Amino acid sequence: MKHKVLYLFILPCVVWLLVFCYYPMYGALLAFKDYNYNLGILGSPWVGLQNFREFMRSPEFWIVMKNTVVISGLKIIFGFPAPIILALLLNEIKARKFKRTVQTMSYLPNFVSWVVVVSLMTVIFTPYGGIVNNIRKGFGLDPIFFMGEKAYFYPMVVLSDIWKNAGWGSIIYLSALSGVSQELYEAAMVDGAGHLKCTWHITLPSIKGTIGIMFIFAVGGILNAGFDQILLLQQPANTQISEILDTYVLKTGLNYGRFEYATAIGLFKSVFAFALMALTNKISKKFMEVSIW
Amino acid sequence: MQQGKEVVSIMKKIKESRSRKVFMVFNYIFLALFGFISLYPFWYVLVASLNTGRDFARGGVYFWPREFTLENFAQAFKDTRIFDSLTISVARTLLGVLLGLFFTALVAYALSIKTLPGKTFFTFFFYFTTIFSGGMIPYYMLLRDMGLTKSFWLYIVPTIYNFFNFLLLRTYFDTIPPELRESAQIDGAGEGKVLFRIYLPLSKPVIATLALFIGVGHWNDWFTGAYYQSRVSLYPAATLLQKILSEATASSTIKLGQETNLSAMTSYTSQSLQMAFVMLLTMPIVVVYPFLQKYYVKGVMVGSVKG
């Protein structure tokens, strides 16, 4: 065979995909079973949609769904525009060295682990001599336990999300902006358009496609809500508002050992997320003329 | 009349250039501030890790160590848990990058050959795993049944491939003229030789990007260790930090008392030790990322333009 070696190159990948991706898909059948370790996945009795029904009827269902959507919603409202605004502001800067320095600085948080970010937050916001509370003290204000109080959970989630991701996220918009021809601006200026008008009529429309694609991904990922960030910021005091679908799957599955129930919740999430992605894609195709499929 | 109009337009331009100047001043200030805020937390923790813990706890150390010491780092290295976890992190990062690059290069090369029958099918077979997965629990059960949850290979084997890494490399290979391969083969070179002697040397920027992607992913991954690894002695550094962190928040009320107890005897505290550990996890990334940044950006561009 002519291509023997090439197929040999692909073979390990195919085996790997079968084992680590496709086998767990088969394992997801567990969601429709009453799992018994000795009987295995196939041998365990079928229970149909019972696990799904149980989840949707449980009081946790609405709490978990609400938290997931609220956290994602807050991130979309505040976190989604942040890199766009940053890119627009950076785009106005003509001093190249300054621009590049700011960009390089703003990328660093993206490269470190959420564990490191949460460690930094713990030191900075601690009421025991942390810098933020020391500044508050300087103004005669009482210290606040930012990381432990329920009321500060969402603000901390959103702010740390922006801090970590906005800088790096701006790259994709900046690259779209660099493709806009300077002649367009010059022509508009000759016609008497100001900078603001240029931004509105030239800059923004030229990155509309990029914004649209990123928006589809953001909405498609609504049910994710930033898994490891939430997991790390979660504390007993805030579980009521911080438990999201993924953390709930982990808890019921790995901590309480209810494998089939947790699998059902995970599957529910995958299917729902996929539908959501398809829907946004369709809407975006219709109104913004961009789509990922 | 005509003159009046011109005057108005000039007035408008002057007004706008003034508001433009104000905007630019604020823009510079805002962006400088943004850069500062991005970096300062790291600086603050670096200062904390280079200051004696007892003195830092008194407060007021923000920009420069007041009582400089390397004791925190010395203690961190003396702590066998921390030292072992760092060893695991280094090992998994190096091995993960090497094996990841090797196997990704093989499949990316094969699927970049336009004439290969089944090329589209294999690509879709791979792509499909990004839109649908079995979920965390079946995945965990698989790892457990394979014995990986008790092994170092947990960090390597399941992470060898990744569709986006593959796509990045294959997209780059697609830009290499196929004539290079054909003429090398006429000269008697096999596929392996073409890949390693021609394709890879031509793809240095993308390889660098990919190595960074994979390496940073390995170095930062705390989740695999925390939820899938059953042997505490096999925790990577990021997982150990997470465990220390969750212990600290769980007992934040008694932590203060412990610290005063500790500082009565030594200059370092559990907090300053932790800061040194955070820095040990952060430093390699700080050192590496500005150098590879340009490759990284280039790689993202390639991926976003073609992907």
Q: What is the pLDDT of residue A202?
A: 85
A111 to chain B, any CB pair closer than 8 A? The answer is yes
Q: What is the pLDDT of residue A114?
A: 96
Q: What is the pLDDT of residue B1?
A: 52
Q: What is the pLDDT of residue A223?
A: 84
Q: What is the pLDDT of residue A189?
A: 78
The pLDDT of residue B306 is above 50: no
* Positions of chain A with pLDDT under 70: 1, 290, 292-293
Sign of the dihedral defined by the CA atoms of residues A227, A233, A237, A242, in that order? negative
Name every chain A residue with its beta carbon within 8 A of the beta carbon of B86. Answer: none
Of B117, B137, B191, the CB nearest to A266: B137
Q: What is the pLDDT of residue B161?
A: 96
The pLDDT of residue B265 is above 60: no
When pLDDT is averaged across residues B159-168 and rounded to a whole number, the result is: 93
The pLDDT of residue B300 is above 70: no
What single letter denotes the amino acid at residue B137?
Answer: I
Is there a single domain that holds both residue A187 and residue A281?
yes
The pLDDT of residue B225 is above 90: yes
Of B45, B122, B138, the CB nearest to A30: B138
Q: Kindly report the backbone phi and psi dihedral angles of residue A290, in degrees, each rounded to the nearest multiple of 5, phi listed first.
A: -130, 150
Q: What are the pLDDT digits (tens) for B11-27?
A: 666 666 788 889 999 99
In a domain, A293, yes or no: no
3-class SS of residue A46: strand
CA atoms of B146 and B55, how far apart (whole Å): 50
Q: How many domains does chain A fold into?
A: 2
Q: What is the pLDDT of residue B20?
A: 85
Is there a single domain that holds both residue A135 and residue A214?
yes
Q: What are the pLDDT digits (tens) for A1-23?
A: 678 999 999 999 999 999 999 99
Q: What is the pLDDT of residue A292?
A: 64
Is there a single domain that holds both residue A21 and residue A158?
no
Q: What is the pLDDT of residue B213?
A: 85
Q: What is the pLDDT of residue B19?
A: 84
Name every chain A residue with its beta carbon within 8 A of the beta carbon of B297. Answer: 171, 175
Q: What is the pLDDT of residue B2?
A: 60
Is there a single domain that holds both residue A24 and residue A157?
no
Confidence class for position B256, pLDDT limits 50, 70, 90: very low
CA atoms of B1 and B12, how far apart (whole Å): 17
Nearest to A162 by CA among A82, A242, A69: A82
The pLDDT of residue B262 is above 80: no
In a domain, A292, yes or no: no
Domain range holding A100?
57-287
Is there a single domain that holds both residue A17 and residue A39?
yes
Q: What is the pLDDT of residue A249?
A: 94
Is there a single domain that holds both residue A116 and residue A178?
yes
In a domain, A248, yes or no: yes
Q: What is the pLDDT of residue B296?
A: 63
Is there a single domain that holds both residue A71 and residue A7?
no
The pLDDT of residue B258 is above 60: no
Is there a single domain that holds both residue A120 and residue A232?
yes
Q: What is the pTM of this model?
A: 0.89
Nearest to A180 by CA among A155, A211, A205: A205
Q: Which of B33, B38, B64 to mutate to test the interface with A (most CBs of A within 10 A)?
A: B38
Is there a single domain that holds both residue A17 and residue A126?
no
Is there a single domain that holds both residue A277 and residue A151?
yes
Q: What is the DSSP string of B110-141?
A: HHH-TT-TTHHHHHHHHHHHHH----HHHHHH
CA distances from B98 to B4, B104, B154, B193 (A): 72, 10, 16, 18
Of B20, B60, B137, the CB nearest to A259: B137
In a domain, A218, yes or no: yes
In a domain, A108, yes or no: yes
Is there a single domain that holds both residue A91 and residue A172?
yes
Lowest-confidence segment of A118-132, B200-214, B244-258 by average pLDDT? B244-258
Confidence class for position B297, pLDDT limits 50, 70, 90: low
Count of other CB atoms within 10 angstroms of residue A121 = 21
The pLDDT of residue B304 is above 60: no
The pLDDT of residue B278 is above 60: yes
Is there a single domain that holds both residue A159 and residue A187?
yes
Q: What is the pLDDT of residue A54?
A: 93
Calculate ∠ Cα B171-B200-A169, nearest 5°: 45
Q: What is the pLDDT of residue B307?
A: 36
Q: What is the pLDDT of residue A191?
A: 80
What single letter denotes the amino acid at residue A229?
Answer: Q
Confidence class for position B285, pLDDT limits 50, 70, 90: very high
